[in-house]
Amino acid sequence: MNLANWQLTFLTLSILGSNILGVMVASLVAILVATKVIGMLWDRYKRRRQASLKSLALEFLHTGNAEAKLRLRNLARVDALILKAILLELSEQASGMQQSRATELYEFSGIADKEIRTLRRSWFWWSRAASAHNLGQMHIQRAKNDLIEALGDRSIEVRLEATWAIGHMGFVDTLPLIMESMSHFFKIAALRMDAFIFEMGPPALPLLLDLCKHPEQEIQLLAIHLVGEFKDLGTLGVLLSLLDSQNLEIRIAACKAIGSIGDPSGLSGIIPYLKDSAWQMRAQAAKQFGRNRFTPAIPGLLKCLEDRAWWVRLNAGEALSQMGNGGRVALKKALKSEDRFARDMATQWLAELEATS
Amino acid sequence: MAYLQMGILIYFFMVNGLYLLLFLFSCAIIINYRLVSRFRGPSEILKARVTPPISILVPAYNEEKNIVSSVRALLELNYPQYEVIVINDGSKDNTLDVLEKAFSLRRTAHVYHRELPTATVKGVYRSKVYPNIWVLDKENGGKADALNAGMNFSQYPLYCAIDADSVLEKDALVRVIRPYMDRFQEVVAVGGIVRVANGCSISHGVVEEVGLAKKWLPNFQVVEYLRAFLSGRVAWGAWNGLLVISGAFGVFKKQPVMDIGGYSTETVGEDMELVVRLHRSLREQKRSYRIHFIPDPVCWTEVPHQWRTLARQRNRWQRGLGQALYRNLSMFANPKYGSIGMVAMPYFFLVELLSPAVELFGYTLFGIAIYMGVVYWEAVATFLILAVWMGIFLSLLSVLLEEFTLHRYPRVRNLLKLLFCAVLENFGYRQMTAFFRLRGLYDFARKENAWGFIERKGLEATH
């Protein structure tokens, strides 16, 4: 191909490309306008239908009127969607009889069946996740097995929603399965599990204590954290035994959990760990004493002001500053220490105390 | 001459093809992100007892106009536990005084632990009213030095670096922490979208109404930011190939950054240089890690409203890019660094660094070729039209992606204005910024290392 031909070909292709791009730009703008218009129309329709469907749903929830319930059967697909949103919204504030009527209506209108089908079969994770959540929120007990199956879903969102739903309905026996399905997502799992175990209450505790000795570290860490959140004195024995674990993360988690419980018998057990070989453990122990204003730890904390690790000195100083008069006296004593770092830290926290008093 | 022309054409198609690919990928990621957001609301993270606390570092040099509103905005943040550390980097104006007055600061005897080397810290102040506000008063050492000082002083495991002329949204930290909640062990840094504050109504450090500026220049930058953040960074973040987290907003895990010696004080693009060095260090250690980018709008910043300020800013960005790539040149096309060495580094070098030179060289070359009669002017003209259409197409896609997913400009008038800007910026603005970047490239080659003064109006007077 000579130069002139090449340029002509290029000219033709450029014109073609320009035209295609022009059409695409125009189409994009048209799509934008169309979606805006459709959105506005949908909003208008939804508002209108919401008013009548909500009044029927409310009537059934408050009075149990069977006629209102019958009128909400066999709704068109769009109206069923609106009713679902209404019931989910109402169930957030409902309890007792109203909640069971909301559940009854959810079943009666066929929405629950659709949700279970979606949870089982939908290709889209967001639909499965929404169904799991909705089934939990509406207390559809017969969906338990489907929700347990959803704990093995490939999408973490579906697993999280299923966890929430199971917790919301109080199925304690599912706890080990849940821990295993989510242990690799430590923070987000712990976040969900916090809410979950509080919904379940004390029946979850024996299972959690077993899981504190699980061979998988992630599960162990999660269980220790959750046990701490329970603040049950009966768990201190297990937690104190974990302070001698070979694994530093487990030891730190156990220390934090004991601090969360905040009982003197547990805190006394942490005092020796102010001399632990790992600075992270020493710093964590100091922090827990300050958090609980545990004055028997003052001599140990005073020694920690001379620690070679800055974080340990900082946490020890802060802990002493939180311990009232005893801590203040100890900090003043540290001002006369031969160790320059201890003097610096004592000066810092005493100044802080003075400024805030 | 013909080979040069062909080379430029191939470059054009390669670059635009890459942009399109990045855009398509970003689209999928943003849609997925929005779907995930439906299931993870901020309230859950706020209530959780496992949400990691964050130290917010605000380096400030001559920021008396913006600093108070910025810090006020930080006090409004929805987050369970955080501290704000303003680092007054030897300001010559009244930055420290205005902070002292606005937040009732008192000097403390706090010990400054100098783990990373920094310029001397003259004093540590704490607010009497808001105990989580700290101010470090130090000798001037540059932004990187100020951030290193902030890191030395901070007490939490994560830190968030922001610019003093930026305003964070109320839920910014709650959103940006999400990747850490998913995989705390692996995630080392998360960047968020930076948006243009010019034209927005800001009161007491909070964006009350999102809008556009009256001037065209900031609005062109709105489109440009949308294009850069929504398509480029989102896609690179998903591939774990993100080489830059804007200095205006990013949350980092402190220890890995400390381990590599903190920010480099020898570059003007310390934000990019740090991220590239993090990649390098973590890949060398063969550690499994992630550097994320979240597409939510989280940080609002004032952009230049004058051409000369814009020129200085773009010049600096280009020098920073050059320095970051040059200082880590051994990663370039090096299979040892995986996708970073083989894909991200070459992309940033060939597309981001060299594109202004190629673009302006192309204009000149085609001009000469027409003058010499080597090419038909019609062919050049249609090529230019194609290039402009492509530019418009990509910009429009970004605006539309914004509208369909994030929807931060609710007014129809603003949307239309943005669409118009997406067209108009291709006639003059793009060429001018290419020229500014070319100057930056030239200054980089000359080893020019000055920051350049950026004139500001103040965040609450940007519209």
Looking at the complex, report in whole angstroms how far the Cα of residue B77 sits from the nearest Cα belonging to chain A: 20
**pLDDT of the residue at B309:** 92
- Highest-pLDDT range among A43-52, A59-68, A89-98, A171-180: A43-52
Taking CA atoms, A195 is separated from A23, A181, A198, B353, B394, in Å, by 52, 17, 5, 49, 44
Q: Is beta strand B166-168 parallel, antiparallel or unpaired with respect to B290-301?
A: antiparallel
- Residue A187 and residue B182: Cβ atoms within 8 Å? yes
- Residue A126 and residue B51: Cβ atoms within 8 Å? no
Q: What is the pLDDT of residues A243-286, one digit of tens each?
A: 989 889 899 999 999 999 999 999 999 999 999 999 999 999 99
Looking at the complex, report in whole angstroms how far the Cα of residue B110 sits from the nearest Cα belonging to chain A: 5
Looking at the complex, report in whole angstroms how far the Cα of residue B426 sits from the nearest Cα belonging to chain A: 14
Looking at the complex, report in whole angstroms how far the Cα of residue B393 sits from the nearest Cα belonging to chain A: 6
- Residue B109 and residue A3: Cβ atoms within 8 Å? no
Instruction: With respect to residue B398, please indicate whether it lies within any of the assigned structural domains.
Output: no
What is the layout of strands, in order, in the sheet containing B121-127? B105-108, B121-127, B133-138, B82-89, B54-60, B158-162, B249-253, B187-196, B290-301, B166-168
Structure tokens at A303: 């020694």
- Residue B108 and residue A21: Cβ atoms within 8 Å? no
Give the phi and the psi of residue B164 in degrees, each rounded to 5.
-70, -20
Inform me whether the C-beta atom of residue A310 falls under 8 Å from chain B C-beta atoms.
yes
Structure tokens at B148: 């290193």
Q: Which residues of A, range 99-128, sit inside 8 Å of B by Cβ?
A: 125-126
CATH number reported for the structural domain that contains residue B194 in this entry: 3.90.550.10
> Is CATH 3.50.50.60 what the domain over A170-261 is classified as, yes or no?
no
Nearest to A191 among B50, B110, B379 (CB): B50
As a whole number, mean pLDDT of residues B67-80 equals: 88
Instruction: With respect to residue B266, please indicate whether it lies within any of the assigned structural domains.
Output: yes
- Superfamily grouping for domain A80-168: Leucine-rich Repeat Variant (1.25.10.10)
Q: Residue B456 — pLDDT band, cuts 50, 70, 90?
A: low
A38 burial level (CB within 10 Å; 0-12, 13-18, 19+): exposed
**pLDDT of the residue at B463:** 44
Q: Which residues contact A208 (CB under 8 A, 6 or more apart)?
A: A175, A197, A223, A226, A227, A230
Of residues A65 and A237, more confidently modeled:
A237
- Residue A14 and residue B383: Cβ atoms within 8 Å? yes
Inform me whether the C-beta atom of residue A193 falls under 8 Å from chain B C-beta atoms.
no
Instruction: With respect to residue B45, please indicate whether it lies within any of the assigned structural domains.
Output: yes
Q: What is the largest CA-CA distance in chain B?
A: 76
Q: Residue A69 — pLDDT band, cuts 50, 70, 90?
A: confident
Does this chain's domain A80-168 share its CATH topology with A170-261? yes
Of residues A230 and B145, more confidently modeled:
B145
For chain A, the structural domain boundaries read 80-168, 170-261, 273-357
Q: What is the pLDDT of residues B267-288, one digit of tens each?
A: 888 999 999 999 999 999 988 8
In this model, does residue B419 exceed pLDDT 90? Answer: no
Domain residue limits at B329: 17-349
Span of A322-326, B246-250, B257-261 with lowest mean pLDDT: B246-250
Instruction: With respect to residue B450, please indicate whether it lies within any of the assigned structural domains.
Output: no
A142 burial level (CB within 10 Å; 0-12, 13-18, 19+): exposed
Give how many domains chain B has, as a whole number. 1
As a whole number, mean pLDDT of residues A341-357 equals: 85
Instruction: With respect to residue B418, please indicate whether it lies within any of the assigned structural domains.
Output: no
CA–CA separation, A253 and A218 (whole Å): 11
Nearest to B106 among A3, A157, A355 (CB): A355
Rg, C-alpha atoms of chain B:
22
Bridge partners of B121, per DSSP, are B138
- Residue A160 and residue B376: Cβ atoms within 8 Å? no
As a whole number, mean pLDDT of residues B227-250 equals: 88
- Residue A25 and residue B389: Cβ atoms within 8 Å? yes
CA–CA separation, B206 and B174 (whole Å): 16
Which CATH code fits A273-357? 1.25.10.10
Q: Is the ipTM of this complex over 0.90?
A: no
Taking CA atoms, A339 is separated from A305, B177, B302, in Å, by 9, 40, 49
Alpha helices in B183-298 (DSSP H): 216-226, 234-238, 254-259, 270-284
Looking at the complex, report in whole angstroms how far the Cα of residue A16 sits from the nearest Cα belonging to chain B: 9
